[in-house]
Amino acid sequence: MLPLQILVVDDEPLLLLLLSEIVSDMGATAVTADRADHGLSYLEQHAGEIALVVTDVMMPGRLNGFDLAQIVADRWPALPVVLTSGYSGTEHHSLAPNAAFIAKPWTYQQIEEVIRERLSAA
């Protein structure tokens, strides 16, 4: 069996690298995108291969993380999403039913726990 693939979307290169390493340490394969619209383009071609999406909320481009999570909920309702942001107030945004939110700064253990919870709930 192939390892799980997790799509990681963040415009900050260091966070993208860190999240990719965390996903790898969990035994999964990270597929990365630096903008929500790039992540959506990847999903349109490979959604059946992705087990979970981890996305930042605030990013450049036509879509933000909340938009991406809502599109995922509409088009691939069984695909779980973890949203993360350091901006105050974003945690109170209405989340799609397939989504969970974790505020930055998070620890390695916190983000890993949320990812595992979302994967087990899927």
Do the beta carbons of residue 27 and residue 19 sit within 8 Å? no
* Sign of CA pseudo-dihedral 46, 47, 51, 54: positive
CATH topology (fold) of 5-121 = Rossmann fold (3.40.50)
pLDDT per residue as tens digits for the range 34-82:
999 999 999 999 999 999 999 999 999 999 999 999 999 999 999 999 9
Mean pLDDT of 1-23: 92
* Residue 105, preceding peptide bond in cis (omega within 30° of 0): yes
Whole-prediction pTM: 0.93
Mean pLDDT of 90-95: 64
**Domain ranges for the chain:** 5-121
Q: How many angstroms separate the CA atoms of 42 and 117, rounded? A: 24
71 CA to centre of own chain: 13
- Orientation of helix 13-25 relative to helix 108-121, angle to 10°: 60
